[in-house]
Amino acid sequence: MSAPMPRPYAESRPLPPYRALFAVDAKDFTGLPAAQHGPVSRLIPQLVDQALERADLHRLRDAKRFPANTGDGVVFGFDPVHLPFVLWPFLGVLDDVLGSYNRQAVGPRIRLRASVHVGPLPDEGEPGDGNGTARNDLHRLLDSRPVKAILAAASEEVTHLAAIISERVYEDVVRAAYTGLHPDRCVEVPATVEGKNFSQRAWLYVPSPSGNLVRAGIRPREEAVGTIPEASAAEPGERGGRGYGGNSQQVGEGVAMMGDVGGDFTYTAPATTYRGTNQHWGGGDNVSGDKRIGDGGHR
């Protein structure tokens, strides 16, 4: 017999444990021939696990909570103690793994969007574990406009992963300096999903920007001058790391960039406001530096 349905606000009950959440899905999966859906669906979790191993996150790989294959991606929960290492270096390692695969692949390229979130979710070894608002928000972030726009605008030869980080993870992990991912590598965006009642502040991180993203001032990864300290035996950890530096931007709609913007990256929305070199968008196509539109060289 199923458990009785709880009545909201009728009584207090224990809060479910906090679980970190990670999800990826593949760009243009539905455009693949049907015969490739199954192989690609099986390949994506293999690439994710390979990146976890290379990032020295073996314990996380073996301790996933409520993992699921979504067809065009994967999703799983995990102990939030691993969050700093998922942000850094795992996301960068996953980008490297995808790049290595794509350079030698005979089949379709695998380019992924990723989302990272945290929140209370049931996790008692029962059917329905992992379902809740935090899980819903994780998938909304994954489907949001900014992360889709960034991956679509970047070179498929260079940029294999675009990640969106929830505000809660950013504040608790990135801003608090528990991770090797520097805040200046993250771009603030409003995460909205077409046709859904969803709008949240979030942060984009692109491990290997390319094309217009580089010309706009978003720098590629650089080799670190130092390393991440080795973790103790009681903590999940990584050996080594990479150093970053970059721009900090705030966006009210779309994707903001600094520097020269040209080529095929376009965004259309209402009027904007601009202050100095950092950008605060209420909407629109706001840039600093020169903007080239079309072939006529209009500025």
Ordered DSSP codes for 131-177? -SHHHHHHHHHHT-HHHHHHHHHS-TTT--EEEEEEHHHIIIIITTT
pLDDT of residue 193: 95
In the 8-state DSSP scheme, what is residue 250?
A: B
Distance in angstroms (rounded) separating the CA atoms of residues 109 and 118: 30
CATH number, domain containing residue 66: 3.30.70.1230
Give the pLDDT confidence of 177-215 residue by residue, as tens digits. Answer: 999 999 999 999 999 999 999 999 999 999 999 876 666
Tell me the pLDDT band of 289, cut-offs 50, 70 and 90: very low
Confidence (pTM): 0.75
Give yes or no for a contact between 113 and 205, defined as CB atoms under 8 angstroms apart.
Answer: no
What is the domain extent for residue 128?
A: 18-179
Tell me the pLDDT band of 256, cut-offs 50, 70 and 90: very low
* Count of beta carbons in the 10 Å neighbourhood of residue 25: 19
Query: What's the N-to-C CA distance of the chain in angstroms?
Result: 68
Beta bridge partners of 108: none
- Burial status of residue 50 (CB atoms within 10 A of its CB: 0-12, 13-18, 19 or more): middle
Count of structural domains, the chain:
1
In a domain, 275, yes or no: no
In a domain, 250, yes or no: no
Region 248-254: what's the mean pLDDT?
Answer: 40
State yes or no: pLDDT of 106 exceeds 80: yes
Tell me the pLDDT band of 239, cut-offs 50, 70 and 90: very low
pLDDT of residue 6: 87
In a domain, 172, yes or no: yes
Question: What are the structure tokens assigned to 123, written together?
Answer: 């996790």
State yes or no: pLDDT of 55 exceeds 80: yes
Region 24-53: what's the mean pLDDT?
Answer: 95
In a domain, 121, yes or no: yes
In a domain, 10, yes or no: no
In a domain, 206, yes or no: no
State yes or no: pLDDT of 284 exceeds 50: no
In a domain, 80, yes or no: yes
pLDDT of residue 5: 87
89 preceded by a cis bond (ω within 30 of 0): yes
φ, ψ of residue 220 to 5 degrees: the values are -65, 165
Beta bridge partners of 58: none
In a domain, 299, yes or no: no
φ, ψ of residue 117 to 5 degrees: the values are -150, 175
State yes or no: pLDDT of 297 exceeds 90: no
State yes or no: pLDDT of 268 exceeds 60: no
